[in-house]
Structure 1
Amino acid sequence: MSAAPSYRSTVSALAFGQIVCWAALYYAFSSFVLPMQRALGWSKPELMGAFSAGLAVWGASSYAVGAAIDRGRGRAVMTLGAALAGLGFLLWSRVDSLAQLYATWALLGAAMAMTLYEPAFNVLTKRFPDRYVRGITALTLVGGFASTLSFPAAAGLMALCGWRGALAVVGGVLLLVVAPLHAWALCGTPLPHAAAAAPDARADSTLREALREPSFWLLTASFTCYSFAAAALWAHLMPAFAAKGHSEAQALSVVVWFGPAQVAGRLLHFIFARAIRPHALGLVVLGGLPLSLAIFALADHGLALLVFALLFGFANGLVTIVRGSLVPDYFGREHVGRIGGAMSGIALLARAAAPLATAWLLLALPGYREMLLALSGVGAAALIAFALARRPARTGELRAGGRVSADRSRASSGSA
């Protein structure tokens, strides 16, 4: 077997794959809604339903993807995921019925589960156990530019070759560039220092053991609440600004700060990661969500809205790093795919349900201010659940502790 690429080469290749996959699979959809609506005559709810279906499949597929990575199939998962994404975009470029669109987005939802952040985090955790936190930070730092790339790239491609042609070009890039790049980056045998860490696997929690830990359910509740509140905000952001009396240009002058704040937070973490424990970072990050939502609910003038944008961007940029580094820190690396997949799958299903659920909630509330305050309350629940989640004693550690106690007991008996 050939030698694996270096740590830096692997992280660089996966980072490129992340920025392209996020730009294509997550951010690009909104760019194609209006052209598709004009060409095919479908309503926005019908089109948005396809994206929601993709998000639901993403969540439902997360555990299976994580289990495959735990079985050593990370290379196959990420290579096949990029190839499926490319095939999905090629099929999307040919749709002429809603049934075809929904089937295509079910396929793209599976591709999301196999490529976006979580599988890359799990693969890095297993291949580079002594440096995975910095690798995760690097991936999210680069991935933070995906939205910056997606919108102008989609607009440029559509101007050049129409919406169907643009989708076909994106599909070609995913199929012919990203899939082979993933295959190369994850080829070869594990690095020596990764193999040396294997004996510690006995101390790692299995999924069954993790499910018996209160910390698993508290962390799952925390990230589920966070995902719900953040997804609801993204879905209702522009209408919420309109309800405040702001024009689209005024709203964009605030929203434009999300990206820089997100990247700045990840850059600071990249520099100071070794000085910050994941749980301490999580308290800061999760505290930023309810505070930013409360400010947005109550503020109407420019400076306060800028503070909202910076706080929300900072929190949103770091929450993926917190989740990616906390699971192996709490439960070990051996079963990180299954445990992380189960945890994130529930959160992703909440993300998929959030836009529709909050649309119904608006019918029962006076307006967006009250809805945003309710979402701030959901964010506060996420913070409380996270604060209560303490690092469990792993099964192997308990066994080791039991052996030490027994040895001490026998020693005491002998000396007596």
Structure 2
Amino acid sequence: MNPPSYRATVAALATGQLICWAALYYGFSSFVLPMQRALGWSKPQMMGAFTAGLAVWGATTYAAGAAIDHGRGRAVMTLGAALAGLGFLVWSRADSLGWLYAAWLLLGAAMAMTLYEPAFNVLTKRFPLQYREGITTLTLVGGFASTLSFPAVAWLIRALEWRGALAVIGAVLLLAIAPLHAWALKGTPTQDAPPRPHDSADDATLHEALRERSFWLLTATFTLYSFAAAALWAHIMPAFAAKGLSEASALAVVVWFGPAQVAGRFAFLAFGRWVSIRTLGLIVLAGLPLSLAIFALADSVFALLLFALLFGLANGLVTIVRGNLVPEYFGREHVGRISGAMSAIALLSRAAAPLLTAWLLLALPGYRELLLGLAALGVVAVIAYALARPPSADQ
């Protein structure tokens, strides 16, 4: 069984990332208002389903990483896309909260098996000489996921109603993306030996990484970032509505997230060799609290567009930072387990964000105060990252 080339593998995985992110992560917010109108469920009830899915994502991400470390990356990513398709099909038939929550339990497991982290880890394992370029390419293509998701889902809902839209998305994941993952990851690729042999004995195990101060500071960084970003994505369309913007006006703003993400990643591709990952992280993490503060206080289209561009840049580049930090700080041998453990903690925070912020809105005057609070969490994330020095520097 001849494996696909490096370029073919990266192209296939990039396509999978584009569709999986657009469907699994960005799509939920677009279905909140149609489902609320059709079924009468409250926002906290619906956000609870999204939260349950994100909790399963966090709880299963370590297992997915460990399976990839054991050479089962193809099975993980193929099954993940298939589960995603089944989850959307179950969601499309949901007529009670129980079925909605059941669908999101499936979708949460699918997230752990498909979204960025497993793809990064598979590339790191399969192409140790080119994984950095591969990760950047995946994030370049995946950066268009939000740009694809919001208008595509809006069009599907108008054409097919919300149940039909969900069924179409499920069919694409099950019948197109799952087979694509299976094809892209077949066989074992070969590469020339690196100019300087890599000694895997020098790489940190998970147990060793857990004893490092930098592991916990980085985990705190991405936990806070994940909470704030997840809260924004879950509430973004209702937040625009609270500002008095129509759906068309809101879409005119959110479509800029993707281009901004991709522009930032292209800039990294062109100039990243002159900027260390650590320095890049400090710069882009600062974009989160700044963009959230702008969104909270914005009262003009120009300010909202500035928010979209800043948040898109930060959200795009932070993915590259996260994808490269684990092998750079702790080595490649146990990258699946270490990144899985780090992500699990951050993802549990992400899981709590939609529901906690939905309940918090009941006590706050409105979205402005919520967004300013999320901006404050972003500032704390920047501080934690600044304190996280590479393990060798800690000794």
TM-score for the superposition, normalised by structure 2: 0.90
- What residue identity is the alignment partner of 1:167? L
| Secondary structure in 2 matching 1:393 | helix
In 1, Cα distance between the equivalents of 2:167 and 2:265?
32
Is structure 2 residue 124 aligned with structure 1 residue 135?
Answer: no
Q: CA, structure 1 residues 286+179, in 2 after alignment: closer, same or farther (shift >3 Å)?
A: same
Partner of 2:202: 203
In 1, Cα distance between the equivalents of 2:325 and 2:312?
20
Alpha-carbon contact 1:266-1:318 (below 8 Å) kept: yes
- What residue identity is the alignment partner of 2:16? G
Alpha-carbon contact 1:83-1:179 (below 8 Å) kept: yes
- Stretch of structure 1 that moved more, 94-103 or 316-325: 94-103
Gaps of 5+ in 2: none
Partner of 1:392: 391
Gaps of 5+ in 1: 399-416
> How does 1:279-318 map onto structure 2 within 5 Å?
279-318=278-317
- What residue identity is the alignment partner of 1:95? A
Is structure 2 residue 176 aligned with structure 1 residue 177?
Answer: yes
Partner of 1:218: 217
Partner of 1:122: 121
> How does 1:89-168 map onto structure 2 within 5 Å?
89-168=88-167
| Shift of residue 371, structure 1, vs aligned partner | 3.5
> How does 1:7-406 map onto structure 2 within 5 Å?
7-193=6-192, 199-238=198-237, 240=239, 251-362=250-361, 368-393=367-392
Alpha-carbon contact 1:70-1:337 (below 8 Å) kept: yes
Instruction: List per-residue Cα deviations over 1:37-59 (Å, max 9, x = no partner).
Output: 45444444333322221111111
| Shift of residue 362, structure 1, vs aligned partner | 4.6
Partner of 1:409: none
| Shift of residue 35, structure 1, vs aligned partner | 4.2
Alpha-carbon contact 1:128-1:194 (below 8 Å) kept: no
| Secondary structure in 2 matching 1:379 | helix
Q: CA, structure 1 residues 243+22, in 2 after alignment: closer, same or farther (shift >3 Å)?
A: closer
| Shift of residue 283, structure 1, vs aligned partner | 0.7
- What residue identity is the alignment partner of 2:351? A
- What residue identity is the alignment partner of 1:67? A
| Shift of residue 340, structure 1, vs aligned partner | 0.7
- Stretch of structure 1 that moved more, 346-355 or 240-249: 240-249
| Secondary structure in 1 matching 2:286 | helix
| Shift of residue 135, structure 1, vs aligned partner | 0.9
Instruction: List per-residue Cα deviations over 1:119-165 (Å, max 9, x = no partner).
Output: 00110111112221221111111112222222343344445544434
Partner of 1:3: 2
- What residue identity is the alignment partner of 2:272? A
Partner of 1:412: none
Q: CA, structure 1 residues 175+222, in 2 after alignment: closer, same or farther (shift >3 Å)?
A: same
| Shift of residue 350, structure 1, vs aligned partner | 1.1
| Shift of residue 97, structure 1, vs aligned partner | 2.7
| Shift of residue 380, structure 1, vs aligned partner | 1.2
| Shift of residue 251, structure 1, vs aligned partner | 4.9
In 1, Cα distance between the equivalents of 2:304 and 2:159?
37
- What residue identity is the alignment partner of 1:102? Y
- What residue identity is the alignment partner of 1:5? P
| Shift of residue 90, structure 1, vs aligned partner | 2.5
Alpha-carbon contact 1:327-1:336 (below 8 Å) kept: yes
| Shift of residue 179, structure 1, vs aligned partner | 1.1
Give the CA RMSD over aligned residues: 2.7
Alpha-carbon contact 1:4-1:191 (below 8 Å) kept: no
Aligned residue pairs: how many?
395
| Shift of residue 361, structure 1, vs aligned partner | 4.1
Instruction: List per-residue Cα deviations over 1:180-201 (Å, max 9, x = no partner).
Output: 1111111112323479988521
Alpha-carbon contact 2:296-2:367 (below 8 Å) kept: yes
Alpha-carbon contact 1:25-1:85 (below 8 Å) kept: yes
Q: CA, structure 1 residues 163+182, in 2 after alignment: closer, same or farther (shift >3 Å)?
A: same
In 2, Cα distance between the equivalents of 1:39 and 1:81?
30
In 2, Cα distance between the equivalents of 1:201 and 1:272?
30
| Shift of residue 369, structure 1, vs aligned partner | 4.2
Q: CA, structure 1 residues 333+101, in 2 after alignment: closer, same or farther (shift >3 Å)?
A: same
- What residue identity is the alignment partner of 1:321? I
Q: CA, structure 1 residues 291+275, in 2 after alignment: closer, same or farther (shift >3 Å)?
A: same
In 1, Cα distance between the equivalents of 2:358 and 2:162?
29
Alpha-carbon contact 1:75-1:186 (below 8 Å) kept: yes
Alpha-carbon contact 2:28-2:234 (below 8 Å) kept: no
- What residue identity is the alignment partner of 1:349? L
In 2, Cα distance between the equivalents of 1:280 and 1:55?
29
| Shift of residue 260, structure 1, vs aligned partner | 2.1
Q: CA, structure 1 residues 299+150, in 2 after alignment: closer, same or farther (shift >3 Å)?
A: closer
Alpha-carbon contact 1:21-1:116 (below 8 Å) kept: yes
Taking every aligned residue pair, what percent have the same amino acid on both sides? 75
| Shift of residue 293, structure 1, vs aligned partner | 2.5
- Stretch of structure 1 that moved more, 249-258 or 331-340: 249-258
In 1, Cα distance between the equivalents of 2:362 and 2:239?
14
- What residue identity is the alignment partner of 1:352? A
TM-score for the superposition, normalised by structure 1: 0.86
